[in-house]
Structure 1
């Protein structure tokens, strides 16, 4: 084989290998090995993203040398530097105080439609395109789209029921305030149907309920386990 043809063949093989690589794995809870569905995996190097399925399994395009961040609400995020592409079991540790964290991006301006345009494009369904109904990429894109929608809703709740705002209304501080925030966090549906003054009334009513509890009951269930 001529040197030029050989070089071209090797380059083509390298390109095919690079673009066909991915990492598979499972995300579990440290200690219990409970599998975590909808854990968010982000490849910080190539900007690819994935969610774990109902059994905690995932697959994401990756190469050696890439850096992944794995996160899930209520757990400490983990960073993984890939020295190889062997199947991984990733363990996430529960937070001692399970206040919600921003897991998708460090940016305060969460705009997934702009940051993840391809996800929204792949999530579209076309009547004459069976792959958009049943294809793996299309199904994964729709799962990610729904995940982003829920994340946007949770961020609205975070903003309306923030530590600073709640702490300005009721006389709780430190750990007691954190416990209160966990125990009485409102739903997104409540937020949609109530305005600012209604939120203040809700916080005061919840505070009275909190103070009426015996001291040993003023802890979120998760923290008591």
Structure 2
């Protein structure tokens, strides 16, 4: 009798543990990619439709979000069809998004054609629009408008702000990390020069704190690493294609 009671209690305990584990959130990891090119899509909004929890894909398309089995995730990005995913397993997901034919308000080519002063003006404008604040007639000052923040207008403004800011940072890097600066301390030319400058492009934060001697040392150190790359590793470097403004 005692054995039967112990066995019954064991079964009940295991059932409680299984139920508790099933009820807990699991962090799902995945990547959001563009269907046609296979390139990663940054700043995609991922929403758990069951809990309302939000996440956003990073520069390499990666995202993580708490989710339970059988919950639905929604993927939304301006200019692409909104997609949903039912989570039935927790292996790494690759979600491919399809363009819907609509255009965002500003594209990379337009940004590159801007003067530096116009770019700075557009960054400030997009920053303010991305905050999506409006004047309160009753209490004065500004208040956040949740409906506009979560709406298409707010998302487009924030995406535009990120694109503009990325172009401003690119220009800051290009102003100092030039082919002439690299060729002054290395024998690199032609395609090898492009591969090196793509692979070892410094961050804007590093350049903001670095003087010319720091930059030269950085180039020499990274050139030494570049020489050690195998042909396969060099072949995997993707040189960005840019249209001339």
TM superposition score normalised by structure 1 = 0.50
* Structure with max Cα Rg: 2
